[in-house]
């Protein structure tokens, strides 16, 4: 790829790690980080965002930060969700290269060496692609597949299937992300939307080292809806087509009935068929209203313009 030679010499790599109840994984995490990214010839900044943890993640992290100048901590005032926590981390990260990373080591930090090498070749975004999702249950894989298919079918910008937030970004890309004003941060969608020169690196996603996932199905479903509605207006527009088609069908049916009455005489109409039509039309209207509600609710969130996150405490900042 033709691009001015980039070199890691004198550059800083920022890791951005959102943490929600991750006290159990911290020892393993920092051990692995020291053994991997600690060995790259890059200055290191580790931005940890405590997203309203209820365990002693914050206490352990402050203790750790006291003995490690590479660590900078941001404590949010409550649990804002992973997307908001990531946004907070990206906002304060100073590195020339920025890598968001899950605390539970499901994003293997060994891979970052490959990411950096590709960045030096001229790519602005190097993202991890889950080559096999055998660490996920069958149901999770199926729903994830369904999500990516429907998202990419609806949205104007595709997101590569099976990518998460694990990626390396050039400073220019981070600045572009920070400039996006929306409150609803569906990060994977935003990452794809900003563009730049992107390349994927396949990897096998391991299971989390300890603790439990914060994403039950209920939360994943809400997350998927957030993603779809942020990046596609097709669910809103489809009702025009559905409405027009039903109107044409209804007109045809009316014409047939009138002709039949004229030719055959008065019919005794079927109660069953009538009910079916009424119920079906009613259901369609309810769905359409529901879709409107999803969008209006989100527009309301955006219009209120509340901050994406609130910071309670910071450690390792000069100002």
Is 143 a binder of ligand UDP (CB under 6 A)? Answer: no
- Which residue's structure tokens are 């409405």? 243
Q: Quick check: 226 binds ligand UDP (CB under 6 A)?
A: no
Q: Which does 214 bind (CB under 5 to 8 A by kind): Mg ion, ligand UDP, none?
A: ligand UDP
One of 213, 233, 240, 245 touching ligand UDP (CB under 6 A): 213
* Burial profile 164-200: b = 16 or more Cβ within 10 angstroms, e = fewer: bbbbbbbbebbebbeeeeeebbbbbbbbbbbeebbbb
- Beta-carbon neighbour count of residue 42 at 10 Å? 21
Task: Select from 83, 104, 124, 170 the one that contacts Mg ion (CB under 5 A).
Answer: 104
- Which of the choices Mg ion, ligand UDP, none does residue 99 contact, using the CB cut-off of 5 to 8 A by kind? none
Which of Mg ion, ligand UDP, none interacts with 81 (beta carbon under 5 to 8 A by kind)?
ligand UDP
Does 89 engage in binding with ligand UDP (CB under 6 A)? no
Residue 221 near ligand UDP by CB under 6 A: no
The span of 171-179, 210-218, 246-254, 277-285 binding ligand UDP (CB under 6 A) equals: 210-218
Residue with token string 């809400």? 222
Interatomic CA distance for residues 92 and 314, integer angstroms: 11
> Which one of 11, 13, 15, 22 is in contact with ligand UDP (CB under 6 A)?
22
> Which of 2-8's residues contact partners 24+ apart within 8 Å by CB, and which partners?
2/122, 3/121, 3/122, 3/197, 4/122, 5/120, 6/119, 6/120, 6/121, 6/122, 7/120, 8/40, 8/41, 8/42, 8/97, 8/116, 8/120
Tokens 């439990």 — which residue?
212
Q: Is 208 in the site for Mg ion (CB under 5 A)?
A: yes
Q: How far is the CB of 287 from ligand UDP (least distance, A)?
A: 29
Per-residue binding string, ligand UDP, 1-20, x by CB under 6 A, is -----------------xxx
Residue/partner pairs of 136-139 with CB below 8 Å, 24 or more apart = 136/205
**Under the rule (CB under 5 A), what is the footprint of Mg ion?**
102, 104, 106, 208
**Under the rule (CB under 6 A), what is the footprint of ligand UDP?**
18-20, 22, 51, 79, 81-82, 85, 102-104, 106, 208, 213-215
């Amino acid at each position: 790829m033709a691009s001015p030679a980039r070199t890691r010499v004198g550059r800083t790599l920022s890791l951005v790690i959102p943490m929600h109840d991750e006290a159990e994984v911290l020892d393993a995490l920092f051990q692995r980080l020291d053994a991997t990214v600690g060995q790259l010839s890059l200055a290191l900044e580790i931005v940890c965002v405590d997203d309203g943890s209820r365990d002693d993640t914050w206490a352990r992290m402050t203790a750790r930060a006291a003995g490690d100048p590479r660590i900078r901590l941001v404590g949010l005032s409550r649990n804002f969700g992973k997307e908001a926590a990531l946004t907070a981390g990206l906002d304060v990260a100073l590195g020339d290269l920025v890598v968001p990373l899950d605390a539970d080591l499901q994003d293997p930090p060994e891979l970052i060496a490959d990411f950096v090498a590709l960045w030096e070749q001229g790519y602005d975004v190097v993202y991890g692609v889950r080559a096999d999702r055998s660490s996920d249950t069958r149901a999770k894989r199926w729903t994830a597949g369904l999500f990516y298919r429907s998202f990419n079918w609806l949205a104007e910008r595709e997101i590569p299937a099976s990518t998460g937030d694990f990626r390396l970004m050039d400073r220019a890309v981070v600045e572009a992300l920070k400039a996006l004003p929306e409150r609803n941060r569906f990060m994977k969608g935003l990452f794809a939307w900003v563009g730049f020169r992107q390349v994927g690196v396949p990897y096998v996603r391991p299971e989390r080292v300890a603790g439990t996932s914060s994403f039950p199905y209920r939360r994943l479903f809400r997350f998927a809806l957030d993603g779809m509605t942020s990046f596609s207006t097709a669910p809103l527009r489809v009702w025009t087509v559905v409405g027009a088609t039903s109107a044409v069908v209804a007109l045809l049916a009316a014409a047939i009935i009138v002709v039949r009455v004229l030719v055959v005489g008065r019919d005794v109409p079927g109660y069953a068929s009538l009910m079916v039509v009424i119920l079906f039309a009613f259901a369609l209207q309810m769905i359409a209203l529901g879709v409107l509600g999803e969008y209006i609710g989100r527009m309301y969130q955006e219009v209120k313009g509340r901050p994406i996150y609130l910071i309670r405490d910071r450690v390792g900042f000069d100002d």
